[in-house]
Structures are given as structure tokens and as C-alpha cells.
Structure 1
Amino acid sequence: MSSQEPDIDNSPPVDDSPQEKSIEKKNVLPTTVHAADDFEQKVVEKLGDIGNNTAPLNDIEYVMDKIGILSVEECKDIIRDLLKHHEYDYNFSDSQRKKLAALIEGPSDNQATEEWELELKTEAAINKFFSPYPEVRAITTPTDDVNIPYWSFTVRGQRVSLNPGPWTYKEQMLSTIIIDVGLTSAYCFWNIQTQTVYYKDKWLTPGYGILLLLSTQLMGLGFSGLLRRFVVYPVEAIWPNILPTVALNRALLVPEKTETIHGWRLSRYKFFFLFFGGMFIYFWLPDFIFPALSYFAWMTWIAPNNFNLNTITGSTNGLGFNPISTFDWNVLSAYSYPLAYPFFAFFQQFLGTLLAGLIIIALYYTNTNWSAYLPINSSGIFDNTGNSYNITRVISPDTGVLDESAYEQYSPAFYSAGNLVVYGAFFAFYPLTMVFIILDAWRPLLKAYKSMANAAISSTRKLLVGIKNTASSLARGDVRGAGRHLRSINDESSIYDGFDDPLTNLMRSYPEVPDWWFLIIALVAFIFAIIIVTHWPQLNTPVWTVFFVIGLNLVFLIPMSYLYSISGTTEGLNVVTELIIGYALPGHPEALMFVKAFGYNINGQADNYVSDQKMGFYAKVPPRAMYRGQVLSAIITAFVAYGVVQFADTQIPGICTPEQVSSFNCENGSQVYFSASVVWPDLSRY
């Protein structure tokens, strides 16, 4: 077991040559003790400035050690390559880009040559041997200890590994990743609840529910393996939404030297518990003592009976146009993370929200599609009397297919103005995302496509040659030779091929997860999906829909996941799936729900899994340990979700109704699911 503290290993990577390093240092470092001390102090100060005081001192010292091996010309080349690589990178600040461009031109006015050279080398070293992003430098390290914690002994030739000692950072991160897979409910929870509560299906069985949950959960995991070249290993894929989680775990588990920053002498560990205590005390106020602070609709208090004022500024049933809308961080961060998202992404979301609110007002007050007779901002669906739509009046209870005559006698379905704008925004999102990727982000994606294509070609060629040689050996009766050829089929290409940044190079110390491991998971999930549509004909879902939804994800998955990795935000494929299936299978609401589950969940779960893999990448968690943890967690989550949905639907009286005594409503879950299942299969009528 290593005696070093976790992730404080300051030794150089294994590919460095100590002898060459010491020779080069002699040519660039000060020769006297006093000069060396002065040089070191200046470098530490300069690295602190560059890192915005976010990188731990141990990491700064590691980069400082690298400065001595760089010449001025090497530093200029490093910075030129850096500027070219990040030319279209939204997370690489424009001010930093201008600063580096000016730096390679030479000393600025009134700047000493020695000072300029120090700044040049420091900038080059921190970008070459660490990361060009200060937010990434704040949550990870440029070094790794592969022995955290590892202790083993041999019994009859077999190695038995134990993990004694204190709980380590890597173990904490692996546990976080395992939990994060099942942190939110499985998406198909809403399928099952909608079919039980709204459609009142009597044919639902445990086999159906569990297979559906397993299939949708695991297919996303299978697809996530294909995304690694696109959104895990590229440097620009920083995944801003996961950085707070990594930072928190690091602050709690990784020892660090206490530093004085801006006059404050406080470790991250103490900082967390100080604010944790304050938050614990404060949140009793908006969450329990005075809930009005959560939805602080103070303007409606001025004139409680003013309909228009409540419609525009109300928080619950209104649009919430309110400059001071909440004092509850849980409400503020429900749909976005203002402190984690890049400014360009969050500002665009803010402008989009403001514009959408104005459009909703225009639709509502012009009574577009009779929306003025309904709540202005509801996710529900209504009939022509303004009541919640009763789907059981218009479908066959045995097949879930629309009854045309019952529909004509009852009512078409109506959406609120808010929901009309939401779906309009979805239709704009899909083409704009593809245009953005094609015009702006094609370079890194093309590189990843080439890497994946080369790996596929290499694997296929090796497979065909191996099969041919194996068959030839068997034809000659050479069983031993056939076995040797079978073993040679193993592809020697690596998922890391084409990536040469410091963090990826550290991960090369661990056995990688082959692509086919993920493909096996996807294949199993695919088989489960085929079993569902063939064994339960009540769904009225043709087999071709499974192939369709997989093809749809192959088109959109990579661009949307890449957008997620650089901005922290994305949207699902549920709406485009609903649109296409609504036209392809009119009058089949339950078929639409089934296909929608895969349309959204392949993308949503793949993003969830691959973002967790990026967390493990930052923490240097062995990839195969992450794979085992994610597969196990996905399976457990499916069974737990089924048990919970059965309990909720059968043991909570009045679930998903406004009259439920404990307010267990389904506004953001199965109610939305139900609404979509009614409207989209009825598209041909509009």
C-alpha cells in the first residue's frame, strides 16, 4: 500500500527521462541558491495568478518543476498550438486568448526580458502539463497515484486484493458515480405510472415493467461507450455541470495545504462545513417556516384579486415575471445551475426565457388555440370544458387504440399557451443544434469520427483475418493453430488513440474498457425491447419502431452530447420522437409512449452515464471499475424504480390528482407524459 497521500504525487510522468531533464534544467535554471529561491517564489506567484488561485499548491509545484525543461522557442510553439486548438472554444476566454497571442510576440512595454520569459514559460507549462481551463485545474490534478488504496497477497498463485486504511478520494468518487446513475428516477417510471393511473391498463405485469426499465436504462449505458471519443477524452469537453460535484468530493477527501488567498486562510474542507451549517439553518426558513419565500410572488400580494397581475407575475400558476422571485436556492437551480454553467450558456438561456415569456403572453391574450380559457402556464392537457382530459373516454381499454366515435362525442385535446411555446422551442432546437454543430463544432467531432472509424476498420480487418486463418487451421486439423489465431483476433487499438493531453495520458496506466463491452450491453437492451413489443401486443407497437428510435439517436446523440459537454445544457429527443410517431402511428398513444421512452432515454441516460465517466476521468478512477459500478447501479435502479412506482400507484390514495391530501402530484412527470401521449397521436386532425 502506498504511503503517499492521495493525489499528492509530485513525481514526473513515466515517459520523462530524469537524466535529460536534469541536463536541460542546468541550462535554464538559476545557478545560485539565492537566485533559485527567488525564481521559485516568482514562479509560484505567477502560477497562482494564472490559476486564479484555484489550483492546489501541490499541483502548482508540479507545474513549476516542469518550467525548467522548456526553452523559449518550445514555449512559443506550445502556445501557438494551444491558440490554434482552442480557436473556436467557447470556454477558452477571449481575454486569455489575446493575452497569449501578445505574449508570444515578445516583452510588452516596460516589461523586463526576464519577467516576460518567466511569464511565457509559466503559461506554456500550465497549459502543456496541466489544463488550459482554470475551472478544471481547480478540481483535478496533473499527477496520479495508481496505488490508492491497494494492498494484496498471494494464495496458491492467486492475488487476493484488500482495501484497508482510510476511505480515499477515488473510492469516494467511484461511490458517487455509482449513486449518480440511479440518483434520479428511471425515466420509464412515468411510462408505467401513466399506464396505471391515467390509462388504467389491467394487463401490466411485473415482467413488462422490469424489462421495460432494464431495457431503457441499459441501452443508454451501451450507447455511452460510443461517446467516449467525442465527449470524455477531448480537452474542450469540460462538462461544467459536473465540476461542482468533483470539487466537493475533492474538498472532503483530498488533504491540502492551508493557503492564504485574498487575505483568507481557510481550507476547502472548512469552507464547505461552514457554509453547509449556514445552509442547513437557513433552509428551514423558506422550506418549512415561511414557504412563501420559495415562491416569492410579492407583487401579487399588492392586489390579490387582480387577475392580470397574478397571471403575469404569479409563481405557481402565472408566468413568474418577477425580479425577486425566490429566496430558495432549490427553486432557483431547479432547471439550471447559475454558478456552474458557462456565462455564454446561462445568459442565452436567460434571454430565451424572457423571449418565451413575451411570446406566451401574446398567445394567451390573443386566445390562440383557445389558450385564454386555460391556465397560462400549465403542463396539463384539457378538454373543451377546461377540465383535465379524461383519456379513458376515448380509447379502447384492451388495446389502447383511439376510439374515433368516442373521440368525436367527447372533445379534442387543448394545450396551455406555455406548453405551445415549449413545443415550438423544441422544434427550433433540433435544427439549430445540427446547424451549430455543422458550422462551428465539426473539427473536434470529425477527429473523433476518424478515430472511431479507424478503430472499427482495424477491428473488422483483424476479425476477418483471424476467422479466415482459424478456418484454414481447422481445415488442416490444426486445432492448436486455430486457437492461436482466435486469440490473435483481440484488437490492439486503444480508446485513447489520438489523444495526447496530460489527463488522458495519466489514464493510460489503467486497463481500458473495450467498445464491445458497451455494445454487449446495448445488444441485451435491444433484445429486451424486441421481447416487449412482441410479447405484449396490447401496446400495438410494431417492431420497426425499435430500429427507428435507435437510428434517430445515432443521428442526434453525438451532436447533442457534445453540446452538453461544453455548455452544461441540452434537450432530449422526446419531442421529435413524438412528432414522427404521431404521424406514423396515429391513434396509438401507448405505442407513442413506448417509443418516446427509448427516444428520450437513450440520449438522456447516455449523457448521464458519460458525464459520470468524465467525473471518473477527472478523479483518475480506473475505467473498468466505473464500468462495473455503472452496470450494477443501472440494474439495481431498474428494480428499485419498479418497486417504488408500484407502491406509489397502488398505496397512495388519489395519486396524480389535484385532490391528493399530501399534494403528491404528477405535474412534472406522468402528467406531462400523459398529455403528450394524447396530443401527438392526434396530429392528423390538426
Structure 2
Amino acid sequence: MEHSESYITPVSSEPRKPAPDTLTYEQTDEVNDSPIEQVRLTVSITDDPSLPCLTFRTWVLGLTSCALLAFLNQFFGYRQNPLYVSSVSAQIAVLPIGKLMAAYLPNKSIRIPGTKWSFSLNPGPFNLKEHVLITIFANSGSSPVYALGIITIVKAFYKRKINAIAAMLLTQTTQLLGYGWAGIFRKFLVDSPYMWWPSNLVQVSLFRALHEDENRPKAGLTRLQFFLVVLISSFSYYIVPNFLFQSITALSFVCWIWKDSVTAHQIGSGLRGLGIGSFALDWATVSAFLGSPLATPGFAIVNILASFIIVLYIMIPIAYWNNLYEAKRFPIYSTHVFNADGGLYNVSIILNEKTFQFNRQGYDDYSKINLSIAFVFAYGLSFATLAATISHVALFHGRTIWRQTKASVQDNFGDVHTRLMKKNYDPVPQWWFHSILIVVIGLALLTCEGFGKQLQLPYWGVLLAIALALFFTLPIGVITATTNQQPGLNVITELIIGYMYPGKPLANVAFKTYGYISMSQAITFLSDFKLGHYMKIPPKSMFVVQLVGTIVASSVYFGTGWWLLTTVEYICDPSKLPEGSPWTCPGDEVFYNASVIWGVVGPRRMFGSLGLYSKMNYFFLFGILSPLPIWFLSRKFPEQKWIRLINMPILLSSAPGPPARAVNYISWLAVGIFFNLVVYRRFKGWWARHNYILSAGLDAGVAFMAILCYFTLQGHDINGPAWWGMELDDHCPYASCPTAPGIHVEGCPPLVKA
């Protein structure tokens, strides 16, 4: 795997410069840089294959980072203000530790007893490739384990028991299935230079800033100095929205002007309404649901802006104020399920306690399930997104995928990064991926069919979920690798199993997890492989680190979740928790409501012939047809490059809907438009040097301050000053009130003007 060449520099020539969105395959004998401009501006085209990778330092720092991030993310995930600690935090923190280890550890070789293997505690200076592999370990730890949602709703919401071994196997198998799909599609989604994975450029920029020697420009800063300035500024500022003035996470001045108007609160609330005039002074609000806007291409941001305006400011208001689906009986923007009288739905009435299945008589005597109009459209647009993803990829990228299929067989992909990887390193054998896939499928069948069939999902359900994941990995991978936005399979999987196997909530969520998360994990693995591709990491080292990191992270996530669920009294039950307790599990509440909608009641009584929302199925037809006009216009007017930038899957999948709120989208769009459209076009040199560094510094500063605040202050019940600004709210109390005559909800006095 290692060669004698110490440094490889490609022949210098003018790189190709097609538009970043172009996805045409050009076969040439020599391409000396990437065809994607953002990659050319960010990724180095050199490699030193002599650098050691899987060292003692890599294993110690990598496993520690992986376990620590897994613990922190699961620990904070159950709290009222969930905090996501990204791998960027570990990426920064391990650098000085790695250099200290290189300075002080002995370099004596240590032989492993009973083998011919040996290793050195200190193989030389701490290098870039060790740092990248440690970060891949951290990426595993920072990726949430979706299956914990099943365990949480069983124990905390449905108040039932689940076998610990079955729960552990569920956690591991759902996370590991994606390796099989990653092995099958890596030729298309990693080796292809047109699959450029924009989010990886943030970490590439940071790696280069931390490791490359750079002369400070006159009257300016090096990239590392700029990063430190941003990190310290973000760290210092975040004590304000996190501890001193929490209300600036969502400000809605319309509500302050019209304090007694339900309609004004619905229009102005950034948390429970349309968010007109709302904004935030908090980076965590900006990046909470859509990730960093700095890492999203400008054309994708414009698509999301169009979707935001069409859905939130045209479709939802028209539907609500015309009382579509009796929308005025319920909040305009909510994730809860409601009865016909506008109150919260009592699920215990429609669920048989003994059999843990749907109670049809109870349902017929009680009420159909009702949703807020925003939640209704969120589901409808999810239907459209999946259909549009298939037709969009087939129309715009089908010819390219076919050519890449032939090219992958001939092994002739042609950008500099692929050539360097093929020249210097052995690829991962396909049988490694296939072996893991076969073993994990067997364990998944055991998990669902064994242990008293607690998960309710039969073997054919597991196999069907796997088939769905296999089918959708390539089209969704293409969308993610080119736009930084990932459409999900959660709704389509819920719909399919809900029709085929209704009335069983755990079967529904287990099918969703095996179908959706195995695809999502494959995308994550492929993204990490692309990061290793850009940083010239040996593929076999990448594979080992990803596999071990996933197993360790899944185990720590499970252990942390199980510990909290069994030790925190009344966890996830705000009505019984002590006042001020943070253990309210807002994300798991959405997961629970979905299990009721799709699993207990089932899609036939929600979106089928027996439900209130059957017309939402037309969104499937709309979705599959929607890319056709764009494709036709792009062929009719090929000189109009902007037409190809209209991406219907992104338009549909990025529409605002619960649990993301209007203030998150408004803040995200404002930052994204400024940096990736205005700054990118007018100050491209500054953007190339600083944009991704800025994103990494903001993320890291927020994470470090949040952790410090919790373990030094908030964890010891030391909270900020008691005043109006400490409420984690936008002070629009009537935004969740119904406006239909005769519907009275607690907290919404009938004398309030509508």
C-alpha cells in the first residue's frame, strides 16, 4: 500500500471550468484538477503516500473522540434544547493532543504477543492523515442512532418493556446495513468527480488551515488565525443565547406589537407560525435543522428559498384561512395529533393494552386523527419528494450514470483525485462489503423474528425494507452528493408497511428504521469515503476506521440512552417532570406521533379511503411529473444554464415543516444567500480562503460553550438571571390557538380577538 514516491504533483495545465451544476461526463486522457469549481478552490491536488495512517495515536484519539461524541449527543438529545456536537469539535481538539503525544511518547517498537505484528507509540510527527482518520472516527460518534427512537418510545411513551439484547441488536444492525449499499455504489458516488459532496469541503478547508504552512497576507490573517478568531468569538458570544438571553434564539416583533391577536401571533411567530418578521441572533438556530448554510451550494439555497416562499407564504395560508381539512380547529403549525374538538389526541383509547395493537372499536367511538395544516402539507410534500427524486435522477443524470457504469467497468474515471488514489493505494475488496451485508441481514432477521417478536416485524418486512433501501440509495446519493440536501425515506417506508401491516406501531417504526436508516447510513459512509478520497487516505484504512467507529458509537449511544431511560424518573413526560426539568425529549415526541399516525391508526385511515387526507396522494403524481418541464426546457434552451439549476427534489424536500420552524429557515436563508451568492460572486478570493473555515469555527465555538455551560453551571442547577429574556420562547402565546368558532383550548381565552 505504501510506495517509494514521497510526493506526487500532477502536470500543470489549465483545468476545465464547466458550471458547478453540470453533470456531463467527459472522458479525457488527462484531467489535472476537478471539474467542480468549489473543489478546485478547496482541495489539494498533491499526496504523500509515505505518511503513516493507522497509528497508535489514531486508535487512542479516534476511539476516545468517537465514544465521547456519541455520549454527548445522546445525552443532550433527550433535553428540551437538544445540542448536536459535530465532529468538527473533535477535529480541532485532537490536534494539540496529537502533537503532544508526538513530542513526549517514546518511539520504541512494541510487539503484539503471539503475532509477528508490532507498532510504535510514536511513529514520528503527528500528520494530516492520522488527523483525518481520527475525524472519521469522530464522524461515527457524531451520527445519531435513529433506532434509539424506537427504544425511547417503547419505554418512555408506550410504557412497555423491551429486551435489552434485542434493543442492542436493533441499534447495531440498523447502523451497519448501509455498508453493503456503500460498497455497491461507491464507484458512482465516490470515484466520480461530479459527485463532489459539498459538506466535506468544510472539513477539507479546516484540515488545510490546521496543517499547511501559510504566509500571513499583508494586513490580513492566515486561515488558522482566522479560524481561531471565529472560534473564540463564537465561543464567547454563545453564552448569551445559551445562558443569559435565551429569547434571542427566536425573536418575533409582530407578536410584541399586537399582543392580543391570535391572527397576528400566527403570522408573526417564528416557532409556531409563519414567522413573518421573525429572526434569531443565534448560530444554533441558523444551523439546527438544515445544517450549515455556508456548506450548501448557492443554487440549492435558491431552490430552498423558492420552496420556503411557495409553501409557507402561499400554500399554507390559503389552505388555513379557507379552512381546508377544518384547519382552523387546530394550530397552524404543530407536530401534535388532535381529536375533532381541537384537543390533544388520547392514544390510549385506540391502542389495546394487552395485544399492543389497534383498537378499532375505541377508534370508531372516539375520533379520527387530525393534523395541523403545516403537518398535512409536510407529509404531502414528502410523497412528492420521493417520486421527484426518481424521475429527476433518471431524466437529468440517467445518461451520466449509464456512462459512469461503463466507465467504472473500464476503470477510467479521470480527475486528479481519483487518479492519485488508484495509483497509490489498493482498493477495498468488494467481498468485505458483501460479507458484512450478509452477516448483518442475518442478525436483523434474528432481531425481529426472535426475542418473542417484540418488534412485531416479520422476516418479509425486513427483506422488503432492505430492498427499498437498495433501490433508493443511488438516486438519493446523487442528490446529496451534488446539493448537500438529503431527501429521506421515512415517510414512504411508513406508508408502505402501514398499508401492508396496519395496526402495529413497532412493526411500522422498525420497518422505517431498517429501510430509511440503512440508506442514510450508506450515504454517510460514502460521504466519509469521499472525504478520505479528497485527503488521499488509503481506502482499507478508511474502511477499518468506519466499521470500528460505527460499532463503538452504536454501543455508546445505546448504553447512554438505556441508562437515561432507566434512571431519569418520568423522562419524556413533561406533565410529570419537576418544573424546569430539561428531559422533555422533543425529537422523540415527533417520532412517537408518527408511530401513532402510521403504525397504530395506519395510512388507510389517514391518507387512504377511510382517512381525512386521501387527496394528499395526488402529491405522488405531482412529484413524478414535476421534473419533466424543467428537463424539457433545459433541452430546448441549452444555452440557458440557469434552467438546470432548478432542482425539483430540493424544492419539494426543503419545504418548511415540523419539527423545523419558520425562524430556522429565515435565519438559514439569510446567511446562506449572503455568503454563497453575494460574497461568492463578488469576493471569490475571500470566499475560497475563509467560507468553510468560518462555518467550522462557528460550529465549534457553539459546541464548546454549550458543553462548558452545562457541566459547570446548568448541570448544577445554576441558571441565568430570572427575567423576560430567559424564556426559551418567542413570546407569541396565541400562535398555537385555534380560530374556529366554538373550539376552546386551555391557554386560549375565548375573548381574545381572532
TM-score (norm 1): 0.73
Q: Which residue of 2 is the match for residue 524 of structure 1?
A: 439
Q: Determine if the alignment matches structure 1 residue 663 to structure 2 residue 582.
A: yes
**Contact 1:221 1:522 survives alignment (8 Å):** yes
Task: State how far apart, in whole Å, the 2-side matches of 1:598 and 1:672 are.
Answer: 18
Matched, 1:256 2:213: yes
**For residues 665 and 369 of structure 1, do their structure 2 counterparts lie closer, same or farther at Cα, with a shift above 3 Å needed?**
farther
How far the C-alpha of 1:315 sits from its partner, in A, is 2.0
In structure 2, the CA distance between the partners of 1:634 and 1:154, relative to structure 1 (3 Å rule), is closer
| Greater C-alpha Rg | 1
Matched, 1:673 2:591: yes
Cross-structure match for 1:194: 153
Task: State the alpha-carbon separation in 2 of the partners of residues 413 and 183 from structure 1.
Answer: 35
Determine if contact 1:560/1:570 at 8 Å carries over to the other structure: yes
Structure 2 CA distance for partners of 1:444 and 1:313, relative to 1, 3 Å: same
1:631 alignment partner in structure 2:
547
Alpha-carbon distance in 2 for matches of 1:173, 1:386? 52
Match for residue 349 of structure 2 among 362, 368, 393: 393
Question: Partner of 2:639 in structure 1?
Answer: none
How far residue 309 of structure 1 moved from its aligned partner, in angstroms, is 1.3
Local SS of the residue matching 2:295: coil
Residues 397-421 of structure 1 deviation map (CA, whole Å, 9 limit, x = unaligned)? 3432111112223332221111111
Structure 2: distance between partners of 1:439 and 1:568: 20
Q: Is the 8 A contact 2:23 2:400 kept in 1?
A: no
Contact 2:407–2:413 under 8 Å retained in 1: no
Deviation at 1:566, TM superposition (A): 0.4
Q: SS where residue 621 of structure 1 aligns?
A: coil
Q: How does 1:241-640 map to 2 (within 5 A)?
A: 241-252=199-210, 254-258=211-215, 260=217, 264-322=219-277, 325-336=279-290, 337-357=292-312, 358-450=314-406, 454=409, 497-508=411-422, 509-535=424-450, 536-640=452-556
Partners of 2:252 and 2:544 lie apart in 1 by 47
1:650, distance to aligned residue in structure 2 (A): 2.6
Q: Distance in 1 between matches of 2:439 and 2:355?
A: 27
C-alpha separation between the residues in 1 aligned to 2:396 and 2:508?
Answer: 34
Give distance in 1, aligned partners of 2:115 and 2:342.
Answer: 75
Q: Determine if contact 1:374/1:386 at 8 Å carries over to the other structure.
A: yes
Partner residue, 1:140: 43
Shift of 1:159: 6.1
Q: Deviations over 1:189-216 (max 9, x none)?
A: 11111111222222x0111100101110
Q: Give distance in 1, aligned partners of 2:109 and 2:567.
A: 51
Shifted more, 497-506 versus 621-630: the winner is: 497-506
Following the alignment from structure 1 to structure 2, what is the Cα–Cα distance between the partners of residues 166 and 301? Answer: 58
What stretches of structure 1 of length at least 5 have no aligned partner? 14-62, 68-74, 94-123, 455-495
Letter aligned with residue 506 of structure 2: E
1:329–1:544: structure 2 CA closer, same or farther, 3 Å change rule?
A: same
Deviation at 1:582, TM superposition (A): 1.3
Return the alpha-carbon distance in structure 1 between the equivalents of residues 108 and 533 of structure 2: 25
SS of alignment partner, residue 441 of structure 1: helix
Give SS of 1:317's match: coil
Cα distance, 1:387 vs. partner? 3.7
Contact 2:444 2:462 in 1 (8 A): yes
Q: Which whole-Å CA distance do the structure 2 matches of 1:647 and 1:386 have between them?
A: 36
Are 1:235 and 2:193 matched, yes or no? yes
Q: Please state how far the C-alpha of 1:286 moved relative to its aligned partner.
A: 2.2
- The residue type equivalent to 2:199 in the other structure is N
- Which amino acid letter does the alignment assign opposite residue 571 of structure 2? I
Displacement after TM superposition at 1:257 (Å): 2.6
SS of equivalent to 2:293: coil
Residue number in structure 2 paired with 1:90 = 21
Name the CA distance, whole Å, in 2 between partners of 1:189 and 1:346: 31
- Paired with 1:153 and 1:639, the residues of 2 have a C-alpha distance of 31
Over 3 Å counting, the alpha-carbon distance change for 1:657 and 1:313 in structure 2 is farther
Q: What does 1:37-76 correspond to in 2, within 5 Å?
A: 66-67=12-13
Corresponding position of 1:98: none
Closer, same or farther: CA 649–161 of 1 in aligned 2, 3 Å: closer
Cα distance 1:343–1:152, how it changes in 2: closer, same or farther (>3 A)?
farther
The code of the aligned residue for 1:410 comes to Y
Q: For residue 238 of structure 1, give the secondary structure of its aligned residue in structure 2.
A: coil
> Secondary structure of 1:500's partner?
coil
- Decide whether the 8 Å contact of 2:7 with 2:48 is kept in 1: no
Q: Distance in 2 between matches of 1:157 and 1:380?
A: 59
Structure 2 CA distance for aligned equivalents of residues 529 and 264 of structure 1? 59
Aligned to 2:177, the other structure's residue is in SS state helix
Tell me the CA shift for residue 268 of structure 1: 0.9
Cα gap change, 1:510 to 1:319, in 2 (>3 Å)? same
- The answer to whether the 8 A contact 1:152-1:160 is kept is no
1:425-461 CA distances to partner (integer Å, 9 max, x unpaired)? 1111111111111111113311343466x5xxxxxxx
Which residue of structure 1 aligns with residue 90 of structure 2? none
C-alpha spacing 1:354/1:194, structure 2 compared with 1 (3 Å): same
Question: How far apart, in 1, do the equivalents of 2:355 and 2:434 lie?
Answer: 34
Match of 1:223 among 166, 177, 181: 181
SS at match of 1:635: helix
Answer whether contact 2:336 2:344 (CA < 8 A) is retained. Answer: yes
**Partners in 1 of 2:472 and 2:259 — Cα distance?**
46
Change in 2 beyond 3 A, CA 1:92/1:228? closer
Q: Do 1:400 and 1:590's aligned partners in 2 also have CA atoms closer than 8 Å?
A: no
Q: Indicate the SS of the match to 1:339.
A: helix
Secondary structure of 1:240 counterpart: coil
Amino acid at match of 1:377: Y
Q: Describe the shift of the 1:131–1:391 C-alpha distance in structure 2 as closer, same or farther (beyond 3 A).
A: same
- Deviation by residue 1:311-332 (Cα, 9 ceiling, x = unmatched): 112122222223x511111111
Residue 65 of structure 2 is matched in structure 1 by none
Q: How far did residue 11 of structure 1 move?
A: 4.3
Contact 2:9–2:47 (CA<8 Å) still a contact in 1? no
Q: What amino acid maps onto 1:321 in structure 2?
A: I
* Deviation for aligned residue 1:264: 4.2
In the TM superposition, residue 167 of structure 1 has moved relative to its aligned partner by 2.0
Task: Note if 1:208 corresponds to 2:126.
Answer: no
Q: TM-score, normalised by structure 2?
A: 0.67
After superposition, give the CA deviation of every residue in 1:72-123 in whole Å (9 maximum; x if it has no partner).
Answer: xxx7xxx7xx57xx58x51689xxxxxxxxxxxxxxxxxxxxxxxxxxxxxx
Per the alignment, residue 167 of structure 1 pairs with 126
1:343–1:280 CA distance, 2 compared to 1 (3 A) = same
- The answer as to whether partners of 1:91 and 1:566 remain within 8 angstroms in 2 is no
What displacement does 1:153 show?
Answer: 7.3
